[in-house]
Structure formats: structure tokens, C-alpha cells
Amino acid sequence: MLSSFCKNYSNKTVQRTLIRYNSTVSNKNKNGTAIVFMNMGGPSTIPEVKDFLYQLFSDYDLIPISKKYQPMIAKFISTYRTPKIEKQYAEIGGGSPIKYWSEYQAKKVCEALDKTNPDTAPHKPYVAFRYAQPLSKDTYKKLLDDGITRAVAFTQYPQFSYSTTGSSINELIRNKKDLDKDDQIAWSIIDRWPKNEGLTSAFAENIHAKVEEFKKEDPNFKEEDLTILFSAHSLPMDVINMGDSYPAEVAATVYNVMEKLNFQFKYRLVWQSQVGPKPWLGAQTADIVEQLNTPGKEKLILVPIAFTSDHIETLFELDLEVIGEAKHPKNIKRCESLNGSETFIKGLVDECDHHLKNNTPFHKNLDLDFVLAKKDPNGNAPLRKFFTK
């Protein structure tokens, strides 16, 4: 009886040991999870500007001109605008820092996820830009070459718009059809995160820092003399009128930041970067700054609320144009961008952690976003077929 017990015990011990061993080997050999940061991107060097503009104006999802003639029109516009835009990038140091910050943030997120989410480790950082290097198609090829079988597309537009995140999704689907016919990679997506704790807390921290600067510079500073202008990239009204969720989600971010500031200051949501003759969502940032930038005590803080790092819209448009050309620039400060903020990066980690553990392919509203944009999710954009658990 004792011999039988020992034999059974020994067999069970061996079985448990083999299970643990096989599990360890399997864990070491698996390819883990790719975390792919998606964004519009920006030219890292001045010679890249023309191609960046061409890619941007070729995007029918962003600028719907003509599906048939869009490439030809994009070539003309990019050639015409390149000299002007090259000068702007030269004034901010010779290129956009968005690639640097995207790679830095993605790397930090993956390092943290390896510790918090061992079941999906190792986590591998990738960057996929819509209009600049590394282009999303090149990133997809690298994912395949690296043997990736599980990937999370993580939009770096915190607030969803069909023109931005929607365009990146469409490009991702096209790349999969062209490059990944065997379905090597299983995808899910984080397609919006407007009230992410790290996102809104980091903005609140950066606003506090600018308030303290005003206090040091002006002993007579009073909180009632300060207005915070949350500036987001505008969109054409024909996009908004289709029911795009972007304005509401940007407003949600703003409100959440103000809650963290206990609504101590006056504030307003304004919109920047309007181009062309079409009506755009307003009021325009530059117009409101001009109205409020009086010679009195009024102080202004500009907050780039829809951007996760510095690029041309912050470093040139806000710093050099809006503030640099203001009548009283000393009364205006631009809140630091999120860039390497540890609070912000923790928020990115938390967003990925929740997504991986919740095991949801995409946000419930994504189907509706594509329907309202007149892209049938069961036809042109097969979301449920593409994004899996």
C-alpha cells in the first residue's frame, strides 16, 4: 500500500514538474505581444517634408477630395506647399520630435508591461505613422518579419475621430489584406482613451507648473486673472456634422482635467490649425487669444489637449505664431506637452494593462463611428472580422 502510494505520488510529482517545465519553455519561446503606437507622424528631417505632405494630402479619409484624382492633386499641393513647411520645420530645429517621443513612450510602456502582465510578455514596441517614417505599411512588414502573432494597435489620438484614428484603422486593414493573407497576426485595438487617468493627471500637473511660473514672475498674480485655453486640432464642419465623436471626447478630456484642478480657473475649449476655405469647428485659438490678450492683468495658459507630444502644431503654431506674434506675449504661457512625463506613461501602461486583461477587441462605439462616417463595418471596414479577442 505504501509502495503504491509512493509510486502514485512520484508519478504525480513528475507530471506536475513536466507541466511546470513545459509551461516555462512555452513562455520563453512565444513571441509575446506587439504594442503598436499609431499616429499621423511628422518629418524627422527637412528632406522628408515633401513626402510627408504628399502622404497627408493623398489620404482620402482625412481630406476627401477625389478618390480618382487624389494622388495627382496631392502631388501638386505637396510640391506647392513644401518650401513654406520646410521653413517652419527649420524654425523648430530641423524636424518633428514626434518619432523620438513615440519610440520613447512605446519602449517605456513595454518595459512596464513585461512586469505587470507576464502572461502576454514579452511586449515589443513598434511605431506606425500614417504619413511619415516609419510608415504603417513598413511597420506591418517588420511585424511579420519579427514573427509577431499578437498585436495591439494603440492609437495615440486620445479622442477618436474618423479622420485620424479611423484613417489609421483603414490603412491597417488594407495592409493586412495586402501583406498578411494568412492571418499571421491577431489584432485588437485601443481606439480611444479621452479620460485616461494618467493623461488627464499629467495635463493637470503641467498646468500647475505654469501657474507657479506666473506666481513667481508676478507677486500680484491672482487666480481669477487666469484663463486656461485648451487647444485641440480643429476639423471641418462637414466631418463634425456626420456625427464624429471627436468634439465630445475632447470636451470630456477637458472637463476631467478641470475636475483635477477643482475648477480653480476660468477655462475654454478652442480649436487650432484650420486650413482652406471650408467652415471649421471654432472658435479658433488665435482669435480667442487675440481677444483676451489685453494689456491688463489677464494671464493665459495654452494647453495642447489633443496632442500627446510636441510637434509642428505646438512648437511652431502655438509657440511661434500664436504666442510669438501676440501683442503681449509675456502674459501667455504654453503648457508643456506630455512627452516623457512619467505620469502620462503610467497612464499608457494602465490603458494597455486594462485592454489586455479585459480581452476586448475594440470599443463598442467603433461600429457606430464607421457607420456614421458612411463606412459599413461589415463591408468596407470589416471591424469584427479584423479585430479579434
C-alpha separations of 84 from 50, 77, 87, 103, 333 in Å: 11, 12, 5, 28, 26
349 near 221, Cβ under 8 Å? no
**pLDDT at 2 exceeding the cut of 80:** no
My answer on whether 123 and 187 are in the same domain is: yes
Pair 262, 170 in one domain: no
Please count the CA atoms within 13 angstroms of the CA of 176 that sit on its side-chain side: 22
Mean pLDDT to the nearest integer, 331-355: 97
Query: Residue 67's pLDDT is what?
Result: 79
Residues 165, 61, single domain; the answer is yes
Q: Tell me whether residue 339 is in a domain.
A: no
With cut-offs at 50, 70 and 90, classify the pLDDT of residue 26.
very low
Residues 148 and 208 in one domain: no
pLDDT above 50 (res 336): yes
* Shared domain check, 45 and 160: yes
Q: Is residue 144 part of a domain?
A: yes
Beta-bridge mates of residue 300: 227, 332
* pLDDT confidence bin for 66, thresholds 50/70/90: confident
Query: What domain range is 220 assigned to?
Result: 197-334
User: What is the distance between the alpha carbons of residues 138 and 183, in angstroms, rounded to a whole number?
Assistant: 17
> What percent of the chain is modeled with pLDDT above 70?
90
Is residue 350 among the annotated active site residues? yes
The answer to whether residues 78 and 172 belong to one domain is yes
Least confident of 6-15, 214-223, 224-233, 245-254: 6-15
Same domain, 40 and 174: yes
Burial class (CB in 10 A: 0-12, 13-18, 19+), 15: exposed
> Could you give the CA distance from residue 104 to residue 146 in angstroms, rounded to a whole number?
20
Kindly report the average pLDDT of the chain as a whole number.
89
Whether residue 8 lies inside any domain: the answer is no
**pLDDT > 90? residue 21:** no
Residue 178 resides in a domain: yes
Residue 142 CA to residue 234 CA, distance in Å, equals 33
* Overall average pLDDT of the 25-33 stretch: 58
Look at residue 229 and tell me if it is in a domain: yes
The pLDDT score that the predictor gives to residue 378 is 56
Instruction: Return the residue matching grid coordinates 485648451.
Output: 230
Residue 359 has a pLDDT of 81
Sign of the Cα pseudo-torsion (63, 64, 67, 69, in order): negative
Residue 240 in domain: yes
* Of residues 182, 281, 189, 181, the one with CA closest to residue 231: 281
> pLDDT at position 350, please?
97
Report how far residue 46's alpha carbon sits from residue 82's, in angstroms, rounded to the nearest whole number.
Answer: 10
**Claim to verify: residue 56 and residue 177 sit in the same structural domain:** yes
Cell readout for 192 is: 480611444
Buried b (16+ CB within 10 A) or exposed e, 40-57: bbbbbebebbbbbbbbbb
Nearest-angstrom CA–CA distance, 320 and 368: 39
Is a pLDDT exceeding 90 seen at residue 104?
Answer: yes
Domain membership of residue 12 (yes or no) is no
Query: Among the options 191, 319, 350, 369, which is catalytic?
Result: 350
Task: Look at residue 58 and tell me if it is in a domain.
Answer: yes
pLDDT at 252 over 70: yes
How confident is the model at residue 380, as a pLDDT?
A: 52
Give yes or no for a contact between 326 and 296, defined as CB atoms under 8 angstroms apart.
Answer: no
Are 303 and 205 in a shared domain? yes
Supply the pLDDT for residue 376: 59
Model pLDDT for residues 43-57, shown as the tens digit of each residue: 999 999 999 999 999
> Which of 313, 334, 355 is the endpoint of a domain?
334
CATH number at residue 38: 3.40.50.1400
d(CA 322, CA 316): 9
Q: For 210-221, write each residue's pLDDT tens digit.
A: 999 999 998 889
Domains in the chain: how many in total?
2
In this prediction, what percent of the chain has a pLDDT beyond 90?
76
User: Residue 143 — pLDDT band, cuts 50, 70, 90?
Assistant: very high
Residue 12 has pLDDT above 60, yes or no: no
One domain for residues 259 and 167:
no
Q: What's the confidence (pLDDT) of residue 54?
A: 94
Cell digits of residue 313: 502644431
pLDDT of residue 366: 92
For residues 133 and 64, membership in a common domain is answered with: yes
Q: Return the biggest CA–CA distance within the chain.
A: 97
Same domain, 158 and 253: no
Using CA atoms, how far apart are residues 300 and 211, in angstroms rounded to an integer? Answer: 10
